[in-house]
Amino acid sequence: MCFVLIFAGTECLLLAVMAYDRYVAICNPLHYPLVMSNRVCILLATGSWTIGIPVMIGHTYQIFSLSFCRSKQINHFLDIPPILKLACGDTFVNEALVYTVAALFVLVPFLLILGSYSKIVSIILKFPSATNRAKAFSTCSSHLMVVMLFFGSGIIAYLRPNNRHSEETDKVLTLFYAILTHMLNPMIYSLRNKDVIMALRKLLCK
């Protein structure tokens, strides 16, 4: 669980950093080499990991420092709420911390991504040439797809009404945003590579 939380939390921050990168590339293309220099990129990536690792290790420690007196079997995997249900005593503070960490690592990056893309879309729509608009949208397509898969499945999992929750659906959604999205990342990001597209076309033609 510690590793899953570290990777998921860091991914949220990195997706926000990537949205900022797209914003600078499309909205301020002349300043891009200066604003997103190698040093800045390294600092942003390192910062995401430096924030994500200690916070999530502390979060995991805090959850597993609870007393567990019920069944040790969990009809779930990789998620915090099913574990908190097995804890003895008052878990209010733990649940409050879960929501705080979720707000910092999920809500804030998601709002930053939305803000970046609202600016990007408004700029792209002002481009006079349809070719330039298509090229700009293709720059963002891979990142947008990953954002929709990752945040979309997470939002559906956590913001559904309680009366519509089922353990099986929760498990599938958790599996989707915790594992499958990350497995699809290399494929999604490589779809803009011309060699990969040609290889896929040859494979499909066969």
Q: Give the long-range contacts of residues 189-193, CB within 8 A, separation 24 or more.
A: 189/142, 189/146, 191/142, 192/138, 192/141, 192/142
- Please check the confidence at residue 83 and state whether its pLDDT lies above 90: no
Torsion, Cα 96 97 103 105, to 10 degrees, reads: -160
User: What number of residues does the chain have?
Assistant: 206
Sequence ranges of the domains in the chain: 2-205
- How many CA atoms lie less than 13 Å away from 27 in the CB half-sphere? 17
pLDDT (mean) for 44-62: 93
Average pLDDT over residues 163-191: 75
Q: Measured between alpha carbons, how far is 13 from 147 in angstroms, rounded to an integer?
A: 11
Residue 63 has pLDDT above 90, yes or no: no
Please tell me the least confidently modeled range out of 20-24, 99-103, 190-194: 190-194
Average confidence (pLDDT) over 117-141:
86
CATH of domain 2-205: 1.20.1070.10
Output the CA angle 174-179-180, nearest 5 degrees.
100
Say yes or no to pLDDT of 164 above 70: no
Q: In which band, very low, low, confident or very high, does the pLDDT at 179 lie, cut at 50, 70 and 90?
A: confident
Residue 163 has a pLDDT of: 58
Task: Say whether pLDDT at 137 is over 70.
Answer: yes
Q: What is the pTM of this model?
A: 0.85
Distance set, CA 52 to CA 14, 105, 182, 203 (Å): 10, 8, 17, 39
